Chain A
Amino acid sequence: MGEKQQDDSASAVKKKKETVANLEKLGQRLYDQMEQGEFPWVKMPSRSIENIRYNPDLRQYVLGERFVKRSARNIRHIRPLSQLVWTAFFAHKLSTQRKTSTLRDVYYSAQAYQMSFKDQSESDNVITDLETVIGLAREDFNVFPEERSAIFGDLTIEYNVPGYEGKRMNLTSHPDGLMIGPALTYSEFVKTSADKVFAIEKGGLFTRFVEEKVHEKFNALLVLTAGQAPRATRHFIHRLNKELELPVYIFTDADPWGMHIAMVIISGSANAAHLRDLTTPDAIWSGVWATDIINYDLPSDPLTEIDIKRLHELQRDPRYKDELWQREIKIFLKIRKKAEQEAFSRYGLTYIVDEYLPAKLEETR
């Protein structure tokens, strides 16, 4: 595994270099345009709904052929363009000084440079523009969202954030798990004894798994998505799958929303159609299925109207075209019931670990 490690380490550093280079190239391009007496402009793929398509080969959404040009000659463009340039400048500063920031923090930082954003959604939108223009995720230029999820299991990582360079850490060292924040996201993987990853929707079940030593019994790394997985977490799961070649099993509630949490980890979202490396196409949704509600006779609630409407939407979604998904959607619509992960507690606290988990792993292997 030694050789592979070297490559991985090089890739994280390479990515950082690529980010800085891309930002500088953008500045260079705009600078040259102005030097040539031209109004500065940028061109980027359009992110409008009509330009988002599903790519079956990549198994994720991608942007189509349409481009938009944002030019300072246009009175309606000049403000967003100047915001974009400032954001690039700020991202460059973050990257070269190896500092991180949050979306909210970027919004406030702008004011120190007499750049104004109407509200945070305007600044968030400009950050997405910058991702589209330079073709990299905001995490690459050190801007993270607020929400955090966690990981627990036998994986040793090596930090490369300032002050921690070279420092190693085993992810079993804290029983609550470790937050997947900026430092962990770009750490290098050193070694692991695990041979699989469990991604879990709910904090309660995550804690139960840690307590029941699922990581040891099943030789697994446990990732808490805490609802819809943040992009940093999706990227992290992508790395675990790609760099360490670990299969990924996803456990969610048995309802359309749980299904979609699994699907976004697998195939990504339309909002991130301009980005790559956030998806894990080979990850597996292991449960809880509609079928499980019947087979395990789980305590359940009736589906609401909104649930049913959502199921019909998913039924038509190209990401859901595979047999498993279509079958489960049909069963949901037939039984009109949903269940939570905690529902297994009716058979005792360890039932889910002792009985359900081995059975499902066998079934979805």
Chain B
Amino acid sequence: MTQTFEEISPADFFYRNRDIAGFTNPSRAVFASIRELVENSLDAAEIAGTPPDIYVRLTFEEDDQESGIYKLRVEDNGSGIVSRHIPSAFGQVLFGSKYKLKQSRGTFGLGGTMAVLYGQITTHKPARIVSSTGSTKVYIYRVMIDIQRNKPIILERRVLLNKEQWHGTIVEFSLEGDYFRAMPKILEYLKQTALVNPYANITFIDPKGRLFKFSRVTEKMPPPPKETLPHPYGVDVEMVKRLVRVTPHQKMMDFLSAHFHRVSERIAEKFLEFSGIPKTRNPKKLDPQEIVRFVQMLKRFEEFRPPSAACLSPLGKDLLTAGILKELKPELTIVCQRKPSTYAGHPFIVETAIAYGGEIPKGGDFVLYRFANRIPLLYDEASDVAFRVIKSMNWRRYKVSPNMPIAVLVHTCSTKIPYKTVGKEFIADRPEIKREIQNGLREVARGLQRFLSKREHVEREKRRLSVFSKYLPKIAKFSTELAGRERQPEIEKLLRSVNTSG
């Protein structure tokens, strides 16, 4: 017996394992396609520095609505894609602009392409992409994917004049799906996305022609994240090998301070002394065993400074508040942004919020909104670290009782979110992250407690006053009759004194 081995391309791999990227069934596939493309659009708009305008339209492909074939069109006003990259950006798996260390929405580089790939395998139709970077030209491509070779096949390329200096991208393709089962998740996703991107306009037209519009309440956008070098605590052997391959530096001293985050010459010198590596050693001459040891020593050295959070882009208190007020319409919002922290060399920031009353539903557990790098997490809530933290807290201490209308929001942003599974739906119990979420929730819970106490006090005063204004006149009336007087005594002053005395 002989075994046959074949090499498969990344596109082929994801074709065979599309569950990993969330394309499990027709309902999840519609949801995942919309989600991937909307996230690409949000990123593109942020790169362009323009408040996003995103238009999503899902229509029945044919007149026969039973077929389950839809056409999806997602349009944005983002930075656009350089002409020569357009086919690869949507026709080649793992071709992306996101392999650098800064906070961004996706990290697989699968997003758009995976959606197009799924469309192709279910309908065998090409995708149409229109894009411009705001130059004088607009490019239109029709592409398919050569799955076995992971290469785009360009069916058509047209160039139009861009008179209005439009920039952005339009993606349009066909796919098999089940919109009506996916609808609740899609609408929830769009609502939560609108919440966490209050500066975005998102328009959605569903196959029945219904319009869902999420309007921006501010033009202000959070400062864009900066790119950063890898932190010595966060690198692995493969990463070091790649750095060694590309570095122009010939001495370990220079190599360390040039390619690692927050490593000064002084610290580099100390580290080399600590690990017993000569300062002048050529990094390109390190053998595999030495590289493994080098990575181990990096982790053991305690004097590296913590990574800076400049590469992160949290939402900030103002935008978070604006988003919550706009989408949840509560009576009260309390937000908290924790100071930057790190786990395993990766910087992260936790933002928490509590919303109370107003249109927030009553009854049962709190509504929990989870976000990671400004993406809503909609599945597997009970496995998420935030959920566990909420469950472990003694809410009665904060005057919170069951059935109160409360929504809790937790946003974690990091250069690397520690998802527990490839599905990227819930965050693992890293102790560092758990602690920050805990402290953040405690802070907003204390704010809620102050609000509830104050209101309780006001209500108690109101009740007090109502008791006095109910019974004092009766005492006046009956004692007047008992005493046989004509006129009732003056009690207004007494009632007023109750009101002010607290």
Chain A residues packing against B (C-beta within 8 Å): 23-24, 26-28, 30-31, 34-35, 37, 39-40, 72, 75, 78-79, 81-82, 85-86, 88-89, 92, 114-115
Bound complex: CA A27 to CA B479 (Å): 4
Given contacts A34-B490, A37-B494, contact A88 B475 (CB under 8 A): no
Bound complex: CA A72 to CA B491 (Å): 11
Bound complex: CA A185 to CA B359 (Å): 67
Contact with A along B459-488 (1 / 0, CB 8 A): 000001001100110111011111111000
Q: Which residues of B contact A23 (CB under 8 A)?
A: 482
The reply to whether B482 and A37 form a contact with Cβ atoms under 8 Å apart is: no
Q: Which residues of A contact B464 (CB under 8 A)?
A: 75
A-B contact pairs, 13 of them (CB 8 A): A23-B482, A24-B484, A27-B482, A30-B479, A31-B479, A31-B480, A34-B476, A34-B491, A35-B490, A37-B490, A72-B471, A72-B494, A75-B468
Identify the interface centre among B464, B474, B480, B482: most chain A CB within 10 Å of its CB: B482
Which residue of the partner chain A has the closest CB to B473?
A82
Q: Which residues of B contact A82 (CB under 8 A)?
A: 471-472, 474-475, 478
The reply to whether A89 and B468 form a contact with Cβ atoms under 8 Å apart is: no
Q: Which residues of A contact B478 (CB under 8 A)?
A: 27, 82, 85-86, 88-89
Given contacts A31-B489, A35-B489, A39-B494, contact A79 B479 (CB under 8 A): no
In the assembled complex, the CB of A75 is this many whole angstroms from the nearest CB of chain B, namely 6
Bound complex: CA A78 to CA B464 (Å): 11
Q: Which residues of B contact A92 (CB under 8 A)?
A: 482
Bound complex: CA A26 to CA B478 (Å): 11
Bound complex: CA A162 to CA B481 (Å): 24
The reply to whether B468 and A28 form a contact with Cβ atoms under 8 Å apart is: no
| Extra contacts besides A24-B484, A75-B468, A89-B478 (17): CB < 8 Å | A26-B482, A27-B482, A28-B483, A30-B475, A30-B479, A30-B482, A31-B480, A31-B485, A31-B489, A34-B475, A34-B476, A34-B489, A37-B494, A72-B475, A78-B468, A85-B478, A114-B474
Bound complex: CA A89 to CA B489 (Å): 16
The reply to whether B482 and A89 form a contact with Cβ atoms under 8 Å apart is: yes
Query: Main SS of the interface on chain A?
Result: helix
Identify the interface centre among A26, A35, A79, A92: most chain B CB within 10 Å of its CB: A35
Which residue of the partner chain B has the closest CB to A34?
B489
In the assembled complex, the CB of B439 is this many whole angstroms from the nearest CB of chain A, namely 40
Q: Which residues of B contact A85 (CB under 8 A)?
A: 474-475, 478-479, 482
B493 within 8 A of A: yes
Q: Which residues of A contact B479 (CB under 8 A)?
A: 26-28, 30-31, 34, 40, 85, 89
Contact of B471 among A26, A37, A78 (CB under 8 A): A78
Which residue of the partner chain A has the closest CB to B494?
A39
The reply to whether B481 and A89 form a contact with Cβ atoms under 8 Å apart is: yes
Bound complex: CA A94 to CA B493 (Å): 33
Q: Which residues of A contact B490 (CB under 8 A)?
A: 34-35, 37
Q: Which residues of B contact A39 (CB under 8 A)?
A: 494
Bound complex: CA A26 to CA B475 (Å): 12
Bound complex: CA A335 to CA B478 (Å): 59
Bound complex: CA A197 to CA B483 (Å): 43
In the assembled complex, the CB of A247 is this many whole angstroms from the nearest CB of chain B, namely 42
In the assembled complex, the CB of B497 is this many whole angstroms from the nearest CB of chain A, namely 9
Contact of B467 among A24, A37, A75, A88 (CB under 8 A): A75
In the assembled complex, the CB of B158 is this many whole angstroms from the nearest CB of chain A, namely 82
Given contacts A34-B489, A35-B490, contact A24 B471 (CB under 8 A): no
The reply to whether B482 and A40 form a contact with Cβ atoms under 8 Å apart is: no
The reply to whether B482 and A79 form a contact with Cβ atoms under 8 Å apart is: no
Q: Which residues of A contact B468 (CB under 8 A)?
A: 72, 75, 78
The reply to whether B481 and A79 form a contact with Cβ atoms under 8 Å apart is: no
